[in-house]
Amino acid sequence: KLFTRPEDVPSRTYDFIIVGAGTAGSVLASRLSEDPHKSVLVIEAGVSDSSVSTIQIPFLASSLRQTSVDWNYTTVPQSGLNGRSLTVPRGFVTGGSSSINSMAWTRGSSDLWNSYAKITNDVGWSWDSIQSYWKKISTLVPPTSNDAITPDQIPLSNSNGPVLVNLPNYDIPPRQQVFDAANTAQDPRFRFTRDVNSGDSLGFGYNQASAGHGFRSSSATAYLNPALATRSNLDLLINTRVTRLVNDPVIQTKPVFKQVELAQSPHGDHLLFKATDEVILSAGTFGSAQILLLSGIGPKDELEKVIVDSPDVGKNLKDHPVVQIYFTVNSTDTLDSIFRNSTLTAQLLAEWQQNKTGILSDTPINVFGLLQLPDTFFTSVDSNPASGPKSPNLEMIFNAFSATPTAPAPSAGNFLSVVIALVSPTSAGSIKLVPNSTDTFTAPLIDFQVLATDFDMSAMVQAINDTEKFLSAPSWTRDGYLIGPFGEFANATTADARLQYIRNNADTIHHPVGTLKMGRNSPAQRLGGEGVVDPRLNVRGIQGVRVVDASILPAIPECHTQAVVYIVAERAADMIKQAFGMLGH
């Protein structure tokens, strides 16, 4: 059942309490409540996903930022960005960030997952082992209409899970230009791929999106809402923040943190709920780390009151830096006109409302590419930080207009936008508590350290150079389509000017991970520190708490992160069921 006030929740004690009904939390809510003998309470800070109808419309994803369904965080000033601060969106709604994200559906390469197995010394995280979980998550559904897609372009990796995934419903530019350039390029890095989720992530191809039949498919629509509608052992409390975890007064070998303190406002009642089996933190890369810090679990030199010294809490924060560039094109068949023409938007909205068709049924991204830096790049840098030869360093996303608030779409003219991302960054930042803050109503200090390393800066410049190279293929000038670079970027022709362009305009692509990273089980074998959680996602140094969300990833995936989080959540559900002898394991 859904509750909006803590005092209405029928019990203060549940077998499991899940903190955050986000991407991972909703998967767990559904999977753990499959066992009718266990009671599950999910506590969500934000609103219900049914409260904002635009969440459903794929094309309008970016309009959800800085609204009532966004936490709307801000970073501390970033020295790599000439002192600019960035806005940081996160879903403040059931489904979490899967309800407000751009829906790109990528799970990383086999090398990525094998690197997680190596870092944790747990073969259960390897590519081969995660296949059974991947198969539980998504189903590929046909686009509402798109005759251009040929059978040999249809990806094969999706299976029969509840998240719907589709290819673009419409064949719009620059799909043909990208495919032709990829099919004819001399540079083997510019090649076509049928499926970035096949294990080899490299190549240019269709964007798979977590959407189907014209609607966004989120972890709320796919997992949480159907379970809530049918199961009496699952309760959801929304509009309520967990403010900290509280340890039992009786100290055993390790402190037991099975009590959850929650509140609806900073000065409102702070109530305690208790889990008999386990508390699962799924509050995301910022939320889960903030809750542990507020509970006295973190680096001892940073906390006023330390119960467990855990030096990595809040550290190792990584995100993908991006920069957006525009090119003028000789075509009126571009997406920018939709964003700026309100009459056209209203017509398209009416079509979507009536039939769930039209361009609003698609995300703006129809094609994208993942590629490595050229071999020559690594002569001056130690080694490639990507997880292996099937993992990219760079990404080019075509027509992702307004993916970032910096470099917004020009107000007149027709453009191709290219969002260029560094997906294997080496810069790492942190989150910390604001001094003297005592609860989650005060946002933490978020410091990505964007572009803080020489590698990241020079890789971004290389990414721009590679984009220009890709756009020099004959397919782009056919029928005079591509005219040339636009705006401030058009004048950035030297490496130094490009560096400045990047510092002035870069953002991150909203894939933060790593603040509660997973590490090896045995301290004797440890590699790069023990991490905050063990390979089964238990918080080290305490009892009764697991973390299941993007914060546990020990290295940033070289891909969009949501599908990775779904996989982590499916495996976590299995591990928890096993630990408590539950049905469905």
Ligand X SMILES: Cc1cc2nc3c(=O)[nH]c(=O)nc-3n(C[C@H](O)[C@H](O)[C@H](O)COP(=O)(O)OP(=O)(O)OC[C@H]3O[C@@H](n4cnc5c(N)ncnc54)[C@H](O)[C@@H]3O)c2cc1C
Q: Tell me, yes or no, if 37 is annotated catalytic.
A: no
Nearer to ligand X, 2 or 497 (CB): 2
The span from the CA of 479 to the CA of 176, in Å, is 13
Upper half-sphere CA count for residue 70 (Cβ side, 13 Å): 17
- Binding segment toward ligand X, per CB under 6 A, in 75-83, 349-357, 495-503, 559-567: 559-567
546 binds ligand X (CB under 6 A): no
Residue with tokens 């409390």: 237
Which residues inside 14-33 make contact with ligand X, applying CB under 6 A? 19-25
Of 144, 217, 366, 561, which one interacts with ligand X (CB under 6 A)? 561
Binding residues: 93, 242
Q: How far is CA 539 from CA 215, 309, 375, in A?
A: 37, 12, 40
Nearer to ligand X, 165 or 181 (CB): 165
The span from the CA of 193 to the CA of 206, in Å, is 8
- Binding segment toward ligand X, per CB under 6 A, in 92-100, 452-460, 489-497, 519-527: 92-100
Q: How far is CA 443 from CA 84, 270, 410, in A?
A: 18, 18, 33
Q: How is 153-171 classified by DSSP, letter by letter?
A: GS-----S-SEEEB--SS-
The minimum distance between CB 343 and ligand X, in angstroms, equals 27
Size of the site for ligand X (CB under 6 A): 41
Query: Helix, strand or coil for residue 359?
Result: helix
Phi, psi (rounded to 5 degrees) for 42: -110, 135
The minimum distance between CB 152 and ligand X, in angstroms, equals 25
Which residues inside 427-456 make contact with ligand X, applying CB under 6 A? 440
Taking residues 488 to 527 in sequence order and writing x for each that binds ligand X by CB under 6 A, - otherwise, the string is: ----------------------xx----------------
Of 562, 571, 572, 582, which one interacts with ligand X (CB under 6 A)? 562
Written as one letter, the residue type at 357 is: T
Residue with tokens 């979507």: 352
Nearer to ligand X, 542 or 559 (CB): 559
Written as one letter, the residue type at 415 is: F
102 binds ligand X (CB under 6 A): yes
The minimum distance between CB 9 and ligand X, in angstroms, equals 14
- Binding segment toward ligand X, per CB under 6 A, in 33-41, 95-103, 178-186, 317-325: 95-103
The span from the CA of 223 to the CA of 160, in Å, is 13
Q: How far is CA 64 from CA 69, 88, 93, 101, 201, in A?
A: 7, 12, 11, 9, 29
Nearer to ligand X, 282 or 462 (CB): 282
Written as one letter, the residue type at 349 is: L
Burial string for 417-429 (b: 16+ CB within 10 Å, else e) reads bbbbbbbbbbbbb
Phi, psi (rounded to 5 degrees) for 30: -70, -50
Burial class of residue 53, CB neighbours in 10 A (0-12, 13-18, 19+)? exposed
Which residues inside 276-315 make contact with ligand X, applying CB under 6 A? 282-284, 287, 291
- The residue of the chain with the least Cβ separation from ligand X equals 22
- Binding segment toward ligand X, per CB under 6 A, in 381-389, 538-546, 561-569, 574-582: 561-569
Nearest 10 degrees: Cα torsion 306, 284, 547, 212: 180
- Binding segment toward ligand X, per CB under 6 A, in 110-118, 326-334, 538-546, 558-566: 558-566
Q: Tell me, yes or no, if 510 is annotated catalytic.
A: no
Of 213, 320, 510, 560, catalytic: 560
Binding residues for FAD: 93, 242
Nearer to ligand X, 189 or 511 (CB): 511
Asked if residues 44 and 235 have their Cβ atoms less than 8 Å apart, the reply is no
- The residues facing 309 across adjacent strands are 298
CA angle 561, 562, 567 (to 5 degrees): 100
38 binds ligand X (CB under 6 A): no
Residue with tokens 């998550």: 137
549 binds ligand X (CB under 6 A): yes
Nearer to ligand X, 146 or 508 (CB): 508
89 binds ligand X (CB under 6 A): yes
Tell me the three-class secondary structure of 417-445, residue by residue: EEEEEECCCCCCEEEECCCCCCCCCCCCE
Of 39, 101, 114, 146, which one interacts with ligand X (CB under 6 A)? 101
Burial class of residue 494, CB neighbours in 10 A (0-12, 13-18, 19+)? exposed
Of 56, 98, 259, 334, which one interacts with ligand X (CB under 6 A)? 98
Residue 342 per-residue DSSP state = H
Reported in sequence order, the residue ranges of 436-568 that DSSP labels E, i.e. its strands, are 445-447, 482-485, 507-508, 545-547
Of 323, 394, 550, 567, which one interacts with ligand X (CB under 6 A)? 550
The minimum distance between CB 139 and ligand X, in angstroms, equals 17
103 binds ligand X (CB under 6 A): yes
Of 213, 270, 511, 585, catalytic: 511
Q: Which helix (H) or strand (E) holds 17?
A: strand 13-19
Nearer to ligand X, 75 or 562 (CB): 562
Taking residues 240 to 279 in sequence order and writing x for each that binds ligand X by CB under 6 A, - otherwise, the string is: -xx-------------------------------------
The span from the CA of 436 to the CA of 120, in Å, is 34
Locate 457 and state its tokens.
């800066």
Upper half-sphere CA count for residue 132 (Cβ side, 13 Å): 9
43 binds ligand X (CB under 6 A): yes
- Binding segment toward ligand X, per CB under 6 A, in 49-57, 88-96, 326-334, 430-438: 88-96
Site of interaction with ligand X (CB under 6 A) = 19-25, 43-46, 65, 89-92, 96-98, 100-104, 241-242, 282-284, 287, 291, 440, 510-511, 549-550, 560-563, 565
Q: Which residues are catalytic?
A: 511, 560
